[in-house]
Amino acid sequence: MTENTKDGDRSADESTGMVYLVGSGPGDPDLLTVKAKRLLETAEVVLHDKLPGPDIIGMIPESNREDVGKRAGGEWTPQEYTNRRLVELATAGKTVVRLKGGDPFVFGRGGEEMEHLAENGVPFEVVPGITSAIAGPGVAGIPVTHRDHVSSVSFVTGHEDPTKNESAIDWGALAATGGTLVVLMGVGKLPLYTDALLEAGMAPETPVALVERATWPDMRVATGTLESIVGVRDEAGIEPPAITVIGEVAATRDQVLEFLQNGEQQ
């Protein structure tokens, strides 16, 4: 099916609003797309969580913000609430931004929200963002691919418990690719998947880096090996949001560190 959605007939009636599913990039406001910045300044309502970071959230006029992230008490706002709220606002004729950290479709539940909008006849536009999965390693001096070392990269959620049977992630198969592994949401369960990778035969000396709050003013990077990284994490007190990079490319940082001007150097 070929359709020009830009100029296509929008069947929704004129009074229906519009939802923009916007990626904020990893947190530095200079890494917002021009379009994302314009939309943040002009949208009537912006639904966001904490991941875009304080600098970007601070750019949204306060009266237009709705936080749909973690609530006081640590509970997440239910996804159903966010879905319902997007439809409700659009149906009331509002121009709405649903702001997500990084890119909206990389572990961001953007896919679910888009489907819900379509099911409810709400017009929407997708505004991609720079994903932390590539930019996080990048600003730490780690290229996710490198002609000399590796020609594939896998993006994985570290949120699942690999010891549970229902885990959909086959760490053995990932180890066997020989490519770079970039793990998101993987700080808490780090020991579980480093163990799984070691068990699958990945070399204990494989370089690993943790990039915490990439591109934020207080970004930190910690490096080690598959065997040592859990201790490194504990000692440095690395917390979410952080990216785990596993593979030969993680060692590139050390070679360029002297000249790397991004963020805090450790």
Task: Return the active site residues.
Answer: 49, 70, 185
Cα 239–83–244 angle (5° rounding)?
A: 20
132 touches ligand SAH (CB under 6 A): yes
Stretch that binds ligand SAH, among 5-13, 35-43, 192-200, 236-244 (CB under 6 A): 236-244
26 touches ligand SAH (CB under 6 A): yes
Token pair for residue 221? 């990077």
Token pair for residue 61? 């006029």
Binding ligand SAH (rule: CB under 6 A), the pick from 126, 150, 185, 232 is 185
The SS3 call for residue 142 is: coil
241 touches ligand SAH (CB under 6 A): yes
Helix (H) or strand (E) holding 50: none
Binding ligand SAH (rule: CB under 6 A), the pick from 51, 56, 117, 238 is 51
Stretch that binds ligand SAH, among 42-50, 143-151, 237-245, 250-258 (CB under 6 A): 237-245
24 touches ligand SAH (CB under 6 A): no
Q: Which residues contact 135 (CB under 8 A, 6 or more apart)?
A: 25, 26, 31, 102, 214, 215
Token pair for residue 200? 């699958």
Query: Of residues 59-98, which lie at the interface with ligand SAH (CB under 6 A)?
Result: none
Token pair for residue 82? 């966010």
The phi and psi torsions of 116 (rounded to 5 degrees) equal: -65, -40
In the complex, the residues that contact ligand SAH under the rule CB under 6 A are 26-27, 51, 100-103, 106-108, 131-133, 136, 184-185, 211, 213-216, 240-243
